[in-house]
Structure 1
Amino acid sequence: EAVFLWQKIMKKENMNKQLDRKEQEDITEKYGFVIIRPGGNDTCLYYGIVEDQKKRKRLNDLIITAYPNVEQVGFIDINPLNPTLMMAGGEFCGNATRSTAWLALGGEPGEISIQVSGVTNKLKAGVKKDGEAFSQMPIYGNPERIKEGPDGYIVEMEGITHFVTLAPNGLRSFSEDDIKKMGRLKMAEIGIDKSPAAGVMYVLNNADPIEIVPIVYVPKADTLYYETACGSGTTAIGLLQAIRKGNSVNISIMQPSGMPIQVSVDYDGKSFQYAQIQGPIERLGSGIIEINDGSVIEDIVSEKQLKQVLSNEGLIDLYNRVFGGPPYNEVFTDQEVTDEFENYFTNGFVSIVRRDQKIVAFEGTCRASSSPGIADIVTKMGKDPGATWYFGDLGVDTPYRRQGIGKKLTAKRLASLTDSVILRTNKDNFQAINLYKSLGFQILEGEKKSVEKTRVSGVIEEDERIFLLKEETKNEK
């Protein structure tokens, strides 16, 4: 797992702008994070509780800039003795709560109690035998906390308040921006926008099962989202259904993501005893973000994620840009690049770096045994290819070179590996050779290989590669 790290390195000089003292420092702080998809509601959870609201807001803004799909941000401590979730705006979030439980339990069945922002008492949360995650919801027992208005119901819970109303005719044809503006105006009109978080749940007419369009506003994080899923909004509808029926309910509410969230409410006709949401969880990715420049080192954790970055986010094009320039000047087909990264993912690791809303660097590492030419070299050295790592590819887009990105990416990978690590590079790639030497690699004298490839000129040519080795890294920090 990525871990929460931070280190203050130096003060920035000559900063005379209208900034407070802390903002006049050049701070390099690194935060590990994971991105989870609970019911389609993409959520970023940073490792480590951040008490400072301004810093939480900064980290919230950085991650939603790097990942526009992320709809909410939280900070977690998954210490089993006192698991804690702090949302960026200090609000409550049901989907983030059950995601925290899923992480704390490693996706295995079980139950824990979590302290969550916006809520006084700890909440039960956990993982069912089928892998779905659940969370207790912070409801009030008194049904009178639910107030009827002329066109809907205000449903108050700890940490968040919702307005539930029938969707206007033709809502599906409205733009997301128009629906968000309409929801935000309604929150202000009925006075719920001063809550830690507020939502408007538009219930679509004649939908079976019940289907919602959730708009959620968090004042302190200054975010307004047309959410792909909303656990607390789902609970608000469950409470209303329980009142309408006069007893407990267990119903499925369809989210805009096309995925359901199950809500169960215990109600005896006089008071609510308990409410819970439950649904599927998917891990999308993880990484480390640097707060000073917003750079993200992201680990590829699924085949789906790998396919996304290769085909839809430009990793194939970046690979060809990197190796299409000197000293390689090589050309690769899309399939060749895809095969290369699939081998790294299947037999090792793939990481990318994001900055300025795009992928700017990558690395791929695998066991030497999965790369026949490398396996032969390792065997010749008297080492076991199955117990030796091959640092196969490292590339940084031209505008982002000489900024330490390649070194950070390499160092992060080396820190995660055990046993020896071998790599190869062009004999004239002096910048890369110096980088690898600075990280403890040594040139293997006498080990060279000629590689025949099609160059950008269209001509098939050979170039010479050398090999470097770093001995066992498992005891290094």
Structure 2
Amino acid sequence: MSSNYQDTSRTAKTIASTVSSKQDSRPRSASLHFIKVNPAGNITILVDTPIEDEARPTIANQLMAYNHLHAEQVGFLSYPSNGSPREIPIRLTMMGGEFCGNATRSAASYAVYARMLAPEADGSYQPLVYCSGSSAPIRCIVRPTNHPFIFYAEAHMPSPQTVDIIHISFDTWTLPLHRVTFPGITHYIVPIRAWYELSPSIVGNAFHTDGLLADAVRPTLHRLFDSLFSQLKCQEAAAAFGIMFYDTIRQEMVPVVYVDATESIFWEQSCASGTTAVGAALLCSYRGNQSLTLHQPGGTLTVHQRWHTVSHDDQSLCPQYYLDGPVQITAIGDAFL
């Protein structure tokens, strides 16, 4: 770990050796410090005890388990030891080395909660977070609320590397879907409404009646996911990929994310990078500022598209994406392994 970042509570070597040791039959345990965060339902564990890279997938799986802290994802934090997170980024490494916008917003909110930096003139805070899968630090804007544990956090999301349309086989159909590639994660956007209109039998009438978020639709989505996953896993080389079931009429989305390092599949309550992917696919054809709010199982997230001039040539405008939504810190303490 760089000398610019502080070493908290115990060494990575101690944690890793305790978790992996199988030579001693006596009960052994280790503790690590965690922050549990709810960014629009995408329950995230942030660990700020130093952990060696090779031990992180094992520890992440333990922490995510239902009988432990129970979460959808885990990120590992380190803080600048000689400077404010406004100038020197917080380091955030996700469990599979992927990028995660919700975890980035969570880390930024915790920095504000922990009073690591001073407010701006307007009362907001602007911490920097360097998340795995991103080539540059991400500037966040965190706005406190009247509740000391609840914030609204906006993150300047990495721009997609590519946005294109591919076709996938399902039953006797060849169906289109958007593919949006970010550093560290690729998202496939499944246009449920278009698929239903093409053939109601593909999706089922429950979707048309109740919408994507209804429990009655889940069996159909699981059937679609199983077919799509088996095809996409064979061709996807990213550290993680997501399948975003999206309805253009109701503006509803059900996100599913696969992380290769932990071989985990999560039907997430919300997905920041997936929300941004939908925004990039649907809004990039509009030459101007636009916003899209997506209703997801755990809450709502809004992606803002803002066009910026990258040179004095009017033809050099390009869209940038910003992800905004609530973040609630739900627990802080020690976890025992």
Give TM-score, length-normalised by structure 1: 0.52
Report SS of the residue matched to 2:249. Answer: coil
Match of 1:260 among 289, 296, 300: 300
2:184 corresponds in structure 1 to: 159
| Shift, 1:155, TM fit | 0.5
| 5+ long unaligned stretches in structure 1 | 13-20, 292-477
* Paired residue type of 1:197: A
* C-alpha distance after superposition, 1:62-95 (max 9, x if no partner): 1122347411111111333441101111111100
1:198 corresponds in structure 2 to: 241
* Paired residue type of 2:158: P
* Paired residue type of 1:64: M
CA contact (8 A) 1:166 1:202 kept: yes
1:5 corresponds in structure 2 to: 10
Call closer, same or farther: CA 1:83–1:253 in 2, change over 3 Å: same
Call closer, same or farther: CA 1:181–1:77 in 2, change over 3 Å: farther
- Indicate whether 1:146 and 2:163 are aligned: yes
Q: CA separation in 2, counterparts of 1:52 and 1:227? A: 25
* Paired residue type of 2:295: M
Matched pairs, number: 274
2:211 corresponds in structure 1 to: none
2:78 corresponds in structure 1 to: 77
Match of 1:118 among 124, 133, 154: 133
* Paired residue type of 2:301: I
Q: CA separation in 1, counterparts of 2:255 and 2:58? A: 25
Call closer, same or farther: CA 1:92–1:245 in 2, change over 3 Å: same
Q: CA separation in 2, counterparts of 1:155 and 1:271? A: 20
Question: Larger radius of gyration, structure 1 or 2?
Answer: 1
| Shift, 1:223, TM fit | 1.1
| Shift, 1:184, TM fit | 4.8
- Indicate whether 1:92 and 2:133 are aligned: no
RMSD: 2.9
Report SS of the residue matched to 2:262. Answer: coil
2:41 corresponds in structure 1 to: 40
Q: CA separation in 1, counterparts of 2:102 and 2:266? A: 15
CA contact (8 A) 1:137 1:274 kept: yes
2:3 corresponds in structure 1 to: none
CA contact (8 A) 1:44 1:74 kept: yes
* Paired residue type of 2:108: A
**What is the percentage of aligned positions where both structures have the same residue?**
24
* C-alpha distance after superposition, 1:413-461 (max 9, x if no partner): xxxxxxxxxxxxxxxxxxxxxxxxxxxxxxxxxxxxxxxxxxxxxxxxx
Q: CA separation in 2, counterparts of 1:183 and 1:4? A: 42
2:326 corresponds in structure 1 to: 280
Q: Which runs of 4+ in 1 moved over 6 A?
A: 268-271
Match of 2:231 among 189, 201, 208: 189
Call closer, same or farther: CA 1:58–1:177 in 2, change over 3 Å: farther
| Shift, 1:201, TM fit | 0.6
- Indicate whether 1:212 and 2:253 are aligned: yes
Q: CA separation in 2, counterparts of 1:278 and 1:137? A: 10
Report SS of the residue matched to 2:64. Answer: helix
1:342 corresponds in structure 2 to: none
- Indicate whether 1:245 and 2:245 are aligned: no
Q: CA separation in 2, counterparts of 1:194 and 1:40? A: 28
* Paired residue type of 1:35: K
Call closer, same or farther: CA 1:192–1:213 in 2, change over 3 Å: farther
* Paired residue type of 2:190: T
